[in-house]
Amino acid sequence: MSMTIPEIGMSRDEIMIEMSKARERDARWEEGKIFSLVFHLSDEHTEFLKEVYTSFFHENGLNPFAFQSLKKFESEVVRMVANLLNGDDGVVGCMTSGGTESILLAMKTYRDYIRNRRRDRFFIPEVIVPDTAHVAFEKAGEYFDIKIVHAPVDSEGRVDVDAVERRITSKTVAVVGSAPNYPCGAVDPIIELGKLAQRYNLLLHVDACIGGMVLPWWEKLGKEVPLFDFRVPGVTSISVDIHKYGYSAKGASVILYKSIEFMREQIFVYVNWPGGIYMSPGMLGTRPGGAIASAWATLMSIGEKGYMDNSKLLIDTVERFQEGIRSIPGLDIVGNPCGPVFAYYSTDKNLNIYAVADVMEEKGWHIDRQQKPPSIHQMINPTHKDIVERYIEDLRDSVEKVRGNRDIGRYSKAPTYGMLANIPARALVEKEVRKMVEKIFTGEFDMEKFGERVDGNRVLKILREMLSKLRIKK
């Protein structure tokens, strides 16, 4: 693809037509057929957010003195979220562009906190994370020279605390727990991790990017929710996404610290720049005012009652989905999920869950496939309340179709997914994925010709030929 800025600009009508055409292949989240990426409360709320966001379209969160309104909004969002998670007056934090930035900041902060205490700027710290922890921790390890150490999870999808303890060394600086994790929706045993952190003088980060804005309401409604917030002794930081189950505009997240003792290591200051003294609390310089303002407006407009009402709806919808899935012979829920995120898998060795996913996609559903174990991922939102029965009906039909025709599993994409799930030469897979991403950003990759979304579920189409050359038995 080769393109230059047009000599004469297109009309706005032409541009809108071109943009509408470009999104024709996008996932139809409005129809409730996608279970990730989009968090939609209602059309009315979305229109309100658009108005708020555009009202602060030009404001920049980089300078709190120039735009004091944004500083007010950010401070109050941080305080409201801290209170929701039972933080005391000493809890501090800031808004970020999303969960990944919040996690990156926590890991960078802990690295510097330990290096400064040890007076060793070259010390490479170790952080122990569950196998189910978000991949952003891996990114933090690669970016900030931190060794990420993995600990297995148990049959319920929760990290094995004994395994965590066995991995603690003199270089360990922090442990991580999820509330809940993304793959199966289980909440790690944060209380036990807190005890470990205190016993070995470690830091403890809780990744509540998914659950921070929903699990507190579920607890208030009487659902069994394991303690994960600042009530747990030993917890030193929590990341929470406002743009997930807080239903704010993207991208809005919060990173919270137990005290300023930790957060001061996050703040970047440079005083020798000719342009003046530069300060930034997070990774970004310019911070979109619309994201900060819409987060504040969202919390203020929905309120406790709104979040409680939404949680009642989510609980009912999740229960209907899970009951429907369990009613189909050969399917069950992975682990012991807590919240609106879960996955399901095949208990029948003759039923390929990836083949079921293929048939479901033929019916128009946008399916998120997972590995370890092979499963289908669900992230429930209000949009899904009206499509539960249709989804379960299609799922039941898909299972029967796969069972009745073994060729579906043989000639569909399922064998490729199965090969990836068992492939020992993952370095080769990583190499091919990197090549594909490079082509996307150099314009060599024909997205239109590809015709399908490119993410972790679809790169397998690109890798099919490479995998076949490896001659790996299924």
Helix ranges, 149-259 (H): 161-166, 190-199, 215-220
Using DSSP's 3-state secondary structure scheme, residue 211 falls into coil
Of 285, 281, 255, 286, the residue nearest 268 (C-alpha): 281
Flag whether pLDDT at 99 surpasses 70.
yes
How is 298-349 classified by DSSP, letter by letter?
A: HHHHHHHHHHHHHHHHHHHHHHHHHHHHHTSTTEEE-S---SSEEEEEE--T
- Picking from 151-155, 337-341, 445-449, which range would have the lowest pLDDT averaged per residue? 445-449
Q: Region 243-256: what's the mean pLDDT?
A: 91
CA distances (Å), origin 258, targets 58, 72, 126, 164, 275? 33, 21, 21, 22, 34
Flag whether pLDDT at 197 surpasses 70.
yes
- Picking from 334-348, 374-388, 427-441, which range would have the lowest pLDDT averaged per residue? 427-441
Range ranked top by mean pLDDT from 15-29, 38-52, 289-303, 413-427: 289-303
Of 290, 253, 202, the residue nearest 95 (C-alpha): 253
CA dist 294 and 239 (Å) reads 18
- Picking from 2-6, 47-51, 256-260, 318-322, which range would have the lowest pLDDT averaged per residue? 2-6
- Tell me 386's DSSP state: G
Q: Region 242-262: what's the mean pLDDT?
A: 92
Q: Region 335-344: what's the mean pLDDT?
A: 95
- What is the percent of the chain with per-residue pLDDT over 70, rounded to a whole number? 82
Q: What is the pLDDT of residue 406?
A: 75
Give the HSE-up count for residue 470: Cα atoms under 13 Å, Cβ half-sphere: 20
Flag whether pLDDT at 354 surpasses 80.
yes
- Is the separation of the CB atoms in 249 and 100 below 8 Å? no
The pLDDT confidence band at residue 255, using thresholds 50, 70 and 90, is very high
Q: What is the pLDDT of residue 451?
A: 45
Q: What is the pLDDT of residue 32?
A: 63
Question: What does pTM read for this prediction?
Answer: 0.84
Flag whether pLDDT at 452 surpasses 50.
no
The pLDDT confidence band at residue 18, using thresholds 50, 70 and 90, is confident
- Is the separation of the CB atoms in 360 and 398 below 8 Å? yes
Q: Give the domain 52-299 fold.
A: Aspartate Aminotransferase; domain 2 (3.40.640)
Range ranked top by mean pLDDT from 6-20, 88-102, 189-203, 361-375: 189-203
The CA-based angle 274-275-280, given to 5 degrees, is: 120
Summarize pLDDT for 105-128 with one digit per residue, the tens: 999 999 999 999 999 999 999 999
Beta partners for residue 178, in sequence order: 207
Summarize pLDDT for 216-246 with one digit per residue, the tens: 999 999 999 999 999 999 999 999 999 999 9
- Is the separation of the CB atoms in 112 and 104 below 8 Å? no
Question: Higher pLDDT residue, 59 or 352?
Answer: 352
Q: Record the tokens describing residue 444, joined without a space.
A: 């060599």
Question: Higher pLDDT residue, 3 or 16?
Answer: 16
CA distances (Å), origin 148, targets 130, 157, 230, 234? 10, 19, 24, 20
Question: Higher pLDDT residue, 215 or 420?
Answer: 215
Q: What is the pLDDT of residue 409?
A: 63
Q: Record the tokens describing residue 232, joined without a space.
A: 């747990």
- Sort 337 into a burial class: Cβ within 10 Å, 0-12 / 13-18 / 19+: buried
Flag whether pLDDT at 454 surpasses 50.
no
Summarize pLDDT for 156-171 with one digit per residue, the tens: 999 999 999 999 999 9
Residues whose CB is less than 8 angstroms from the CB of residue 328 and which lie 6 or more positions away in sequence, other chains included: 392, 395, 396, 399
Going across the sheet that includes 331-333, the strands are 331-333, 341-346, 375-379, 368-370
Range ranked top by mean pLDDT from 152-156, 382-386, 424-428, 451-455: 152-156
Residues whose CB is less than 8 angstroms from the CB of residue 356 and which lie 6 or more positions away in sequence, other chains included: 346, 376, 395, 398, 399, 402
The pLDDT confidence band at residue 474, using thresholds 50, 70 and 90, is very low
Q: What is the pLDDT of residue 428?
A: 62
Q: Region 386-392: what's the mean pLDDT?
A: 95
Q: What is the pLDDT of residue 432?
A: 65
Length of the chain in residues, anyone? 474
Flag whether pLDDT at 262 surpasses 50.
yes
Beta partners for residue 138, in sequence order: none
Sign of CA dihedral 407, 413, 415, 421: negative
CA dist 321 and 393 (Å) reads 11
CA dist 392 and 344 (Å) reads 12
Q: Which residue has the tokens 């939609």?
A: 40
CA dist 102 and 176 (Å) reads 13
Q: Region 349-356: what's the mean pLDDT?
A: 92
